[in-house]
Amino acid sequence: HVCFKQRLPPSSRPLRFSFTPSLRFLNLVPFASTGGETDTIHTQQQVQEPQIEDSSDVDVAAEDDTAADESSDVEETSSSAISSLLQSYKEALASNDESKVADIEALLKSIEDEKVDLEKKMASLSEELSTEKDRVLRIGADFDNFRKRTERERLSLVANAQGEVLENLLPVLDNFERAKAQIKVKTEGEEKINNSYQSIYKQFMEILGSLGVEPVDTVGNPFDPMLHEAIMQEDSTEFEEDIILQEFQKGFKLGDRLLRPAMVKVSAGPGPSKTEQGESSESADVGESKETSETAESSETTKTHREAESS
């Protein structure tokens, strides 16, 4: 308890004030003087802990409004209490009451110390709040990255399993195409069988297409070692160098994944044309005939010289 003592004239009016700066500040009880004797003013600290209600029906907006109203009431009460305390301090100075002045100054100093402590706590809490916000943001970002990585891994696992199944089905497709090339329809019954077979083959290709399987382009396209496998190479007057001439086995890809490369024959570049080949053969024949005639003439000349010498 803090006691204020003062001497007031009998005719003076009682001086009353109250002060509630915060939940931790002292509440000053009004004091009065009734005569020449000294009156004692008792102040007691009333600390009320805020009650927290845990209810699922409480509206967040209503809680914010209530907190704002309570903060406004506390500020108004604190301002009024400080004004009353300052007024009392002025009156004590005017009446030259040193005891009361000392008590009020001590109280003001305690209020100032309390203010400094609260400012330090606010700064510390603000720093902790900023740290927790950053931590929550990092956790959210890590969770988002984890979710995206998990989704990518799931899609990759599905694609790998699907690719393995399709790779095992490709030899069946090859057998379908070989049989298709060997079928020779002669009778009406064979034609019905061939039509049924073609329907099955068409359905098979449609299913592969719906799964994202695409054939690799070959004849007439440039050779790509990432998509094609060259098993032969020959000269060509029709295609330039590194252009695919013939396809021996189909290649397939699933999206960006190559299921099987296509086996192809590649052009080695333009070879000699037929005209050039004909001209070269004619020139060779002419050269041979010239050599033959020259040899015959030389033989006849040698024979004539020998006959002349002998005669």
Distance CA 265, CA 258 (A): 19
13 to each of 3, 10, 33, how far by Cα in Å?
20, 8, 8
Residue 15, amino acid: L
Question: Residue 45's pLDDT is what?
Answer: 41
pLDDT in single tens digits along all 311 residues of the chain: 344 444 444 444 444 444 444 444 444 434 443 343 434 334 344 444 444 444 444 454 555 566 556 666 656 666 777 777 777 777 777 777 777 777 777 877 888 888 888 999 999 999 999 999 999 999 999 999 999 999 999 988 888 888 888 888 888 888 888 887 777 878 888 888 888 888 888 898 898 888 888 899 888 888 998 999 999 888 888 888 888 888 998 899 988 888 999 999 998 877 655 445 555 555 555 555 555 555 555 556 555 555 555 54
Residue 12, amino acid: S
Question: Residue 286's pLDDT is what?
Answer: 52
- Residue 136, exposed/middle/buried by CB under 10 A (0-12, 13-18, 19+)? exposed
Q: Give the three-class secondary structure for 252.
A: strand
Distance CA 189, CA 146 (A): 61
Distance CA 12, CA 9 (A): 5
Give the N- to C-terminal CA distance of the chain in Å, as an integer.
174
**β-bridge pairing 228-234 and 262-267:** parallel
Which top CATH class is 215-297?
A: mainly beta
**Phi and psi torsions of 244, nearest 5°:** -75, 125
- Cβ-based neighbour number of residue 86 at 10 Å: 13
Question: Residue 278's pLDDT is what?
Answer: 52
Question: Residue 151's pLDDT is what?
Answer: 93
Work out the angle at residue 89's Cα, subtended by the Cα atoms of residues 88 and 91, and round it to the nearest 5 degrees.
65
Taking the complete model, does pTM exceed 0.85, yes or no? no
H or E element that contains 100: helix 98-182
Contact 225, 216 (CB under 8 A): no
Distance CA 144, CA 23 (A): 43
Strand order in the sheet with 257-260: 213-215, 252-254, 257-260
- Residue 95, exposed/middle/buried by CB under 10 A (0-12, 13-18, 19+)? middle
Distance CA 16, CA 9 (A): 16
